[in-house]
Amino acid sequence: MKIMRSALLIFIWMSLSAYALGPSEMEADLKANPGHLNTRIELANYYLKQKSFAKVVELLNAYTDQLNSSGFLALANAYSNRKEYLDEVRVLNLLTQKEPEDFHWHFLLGQAYLKEINIQGDITKKKDLVTSAIQSFRKALSIQPDYKPAFDVLLTTFLQQKNNNEARELIQDGISKYGARPELLHEICRLDSMDGFLDSALKSCREAIKLSPDFPDNYVFLIQALNDIKEEKKADADAVAAAKKFPKSEFVQWAAGTLFFKRNNSLRRSGGVV
């Protein structure tokens, strides 16, 4: 029993000693023993903290068939800081293949695709990258449905791409998961009003106003929906009320002014009294 305890203590001491090595000692260890993967990853993480990103790449890139998640993340982080996003994508793809059920890795992969989109000039490649990013975020959500960061970025991506149908479906799913949050109701109010889903717009915009009475944009989209269904008196009354409630909102003032300008023009054309 004493021998076993002694052996265990020696093992623990050796492990702690390895982690206590400074960068010069780790460099020396790797020079003598290039296959010491733990030392290699530990040293790479040290250089990552020092912002020596080229050194991280030098240490880890040739070992992607052996790295653990800590090593993959250090290498991906280094590539990201070097703005070499396609290499970051490559590394994170390897990590998702190695640990396919960890939703964090799919989320990070989706973010890496988005970073490449921002610097990519080829329109066709941009479209392919957007598709890959969306697939990654969807995969993260399929593994962890309540992971809101993936939901938020996926929704932002749909909105930026003007993929309104997908955005609308995702928002409805989000409302069922997270509840009727003001930001979700605002987006569904805006989308329904702009896309002509007027019955839904009336309902969602009124709910959005109830939850966020001091957010002016929801009033504008409600007024637009009322006007589109020919509820002109209600639209006019709400426009006047909104303009008084939000005198500093350029959006509300513009919407009210545009509404009454069109109304007056319509009256002139029909021979009515202005």
Per-residue pLDDT tens over the stretch 233-261: 999 999 999 999 999 999 999 988 888 77
Q: Which fold has domain 162-249?
A: 1.25.40
CA-nearest of 220, 155, 156, 232 to 193 is: 220
Domain ranges of the chain: 21-81, 83-144, 162-249
pLDDT tops 80 at residue 4 = no
Q: Following CA atoms 40, 45, 49, 50 in sequence, which dihedral angle do they give, to the nearest 10 degrees?
A: 10
What band does 35 get if pLDDT is binned at 50, 70 and 90? confident
If you average pLDDT over residues 43-55, what whole number do you get?
Answer: 95
pLDDT tops 90 at residue 102 = yes
* Cβ atoms of 157 and 170 closer than 8 Å: no
48 CB-side CA count, 13 A: 22
Report the C-alpha gap between 202 and 26 in whole angstroms.
66
Quick one: DSSP state of residue 193? H
Copy the structure tokens of residue 53: 């990103």
pLDDT tops 70 at residue 88 = yes
221 Cβ partners below 8 Å, 6+ apart? 189, 190, 192, 193, 194, 201, 205
Report the C-alpha gap between 220 and 217 in whole angstroms.
5
pLDDT tops 80 at residue 223 = yes
Give the lowest-confidence range in 125-139, 204-218, 247-261: 247-261
What band does 12 get if pLDDT is binned at 50, 70 and 90? very low
* pTM, to two decimals: 0.83
Q: Mean pLDDT, the chain, as a whole number?
A: 89
Task: Dump the DSSP string for 160-191.
Answer: HTT-HHHHHHHHHHHHHHH-S-HHHHHHHHHH
